[in-house]
Amino acid sequence: MSKLVTIYGGSGFVGRYIARRMAKLGWRVRVAVRRPNEALFVKPYGSVGQVEPVFCNIRDDESVRSVMHGADAVVNCVGTFDARGKNNFDAVQSEGAGRIARIAAEEGVESFVHLSAIGADRESASSYARTKGLGEEAVLASFPSAMILRPSVIFGMEDNFFNRFAGMARMGPVLPLVGADMKFQPVYVDNVAEAAEKGLTGVAAPGIYELGGPEVKSFRAFIEEMLSVIRRRKMLLNLPFGLASVMGRVSEFVQRITGGLFTAPITRDQVIMLRKDNVVSDGAKGLKELGITPVAPEAVLPDYLWRFRPGGQYDAIKESAASLRTE
């Protein structure tokens, strides 16, 4: 019988790529999520019955244990940007990560991969980064041989980075940025999934790996690259951190009083994170040590950002027609 992997958060942005890779290797894949009915799209990743979404509440021991029973390997991809509610930073990224690792050790799981983030630090002023740091500590306390992946900003077809700003670029002549001069090192989502695969199959050694792409540029430079792909000209306005923090406070308040009907475009915690570069640390193990060739944004962005062009899918047809007229 083939091996079994349980992927917590397996229908999320990164989790689905890991699920697809493990299914291709012939593993049985258990995708543990809060809403299995919304994760049915993972089933065709493998043959009938090979990939199954199952319900799990990572705040409950028995729920976590029930979907892990019999698993050879475990991946924790669960994360959140929600500072409030039951599934807040602490409940998900600190306590939840520790719970999954502890139960994995109790269940005799062979390999464990935990998805963290560059900047994870229990002393950070950012609640997101602080709970990511605490989550790493909790994972290693229970499962010392775990592989911890710290990616920079992740890009890919379903990302919430380039897609988000490309959508914003369709409205008005100005595109506001916070921390425009901060350095980023975006990493392709399937590179992250490949790293996880190597950890799950035992090809890579345990430890902490910081994952970044082949390019280190300013936030502004990457947005300019995105604008070039979608063929839109915008004035980039770098907002002061103080003003951005006030905007975050107001946005969070409006989101709270509307019960989530309004989504805050930026939060105070995100403003704190944008004060620091998001790049791989000097001397850190990364994609190179894993034998993975990083994919640059320019190689992938046109494949999924074309829909934000003024003519959308018809831009290519117009260009072809224009070329014919000039010949």
pLDDT per residue over 242-255, tens digit each? 999 999 999 888 88
* 92, two tokens: 């998900």
The pTM (predicted TM-score) of the whole model is: 0.93
DSSP string, 200-251: HTTSSPSEEEEE--S--EEHHHHHHHHHHHHT---EEEEE-HHHHHHHHHHH
User: How far apart, in Å, are the Cα atoms of 256 and each of 48, 88, 145, 273, 320?
Assistant: 42, 14, 40, 22, 49
Interatomic CA distance for residues 15 and 196, integer angstroms: 10
- CA 130 vs. chain centroid, Å, equals 17
Interatomic CA distance for residues 318 and 44, integer angstroms: 35
Interatomic CA distance for residues 295 and 188, integer angstroms: 6
Q: For all residues of the chain together, what is the average pLDDT?
A: 93
Q: Report the percent of the chain where pLDDT is more than 90.
A: 86
User: CB neighbours (10 Å) of residue 312?
Assistant: 11
* 21, two tokens: 């890779």
Q: Considering only CA atoms, which of 60, 103, 100 is closest in space to residue 77? A: 100
The answer to whether 45 touches 51, Cβ cutoff 8 Å, is yes
Residue 94's pLDDT band, with cuts at 50, 70 and 90, is very high
Has residue 317 got a pLDDT over 80? no
Structure letter (DSSP) for residue 45: G
Interatomic CA distance for residues 213 and 128, integer angstroms: 22
Q: Considering only CA atoms, which of 179, 162, 166 is closest in space to residue 296? A: 162
**pLDDT tens track for 164-219:** 999 999 998 999 999 999 999 999 999 999 999 999 999 999 999 999 999 999 99
Has residue 1 got a pLDDT over 90? no
Q: Return the bridge partners of 150, or none.
A: 210
Residue 325's pLDDT band, with cuts at 50, 70 and 90, is low
Rg (the chain; Cα; Å): 21
DSSP string, 257-274: HTTTSSPPSS-HHHHHHT
Q: At residue 191, what are phi and psi to the nearest 5 degrees?
A: -65, -40
* 314, two tokens: 């018809």
**pLDDT tens track for 12-49:** 999 999 999 999 999 999 999 999 999 999 999 999 99
**According to the model, what pLDDT value does residue 255 have?**
85
Interatomic CA distance for residues 215 and 13, integer angstroms: 21
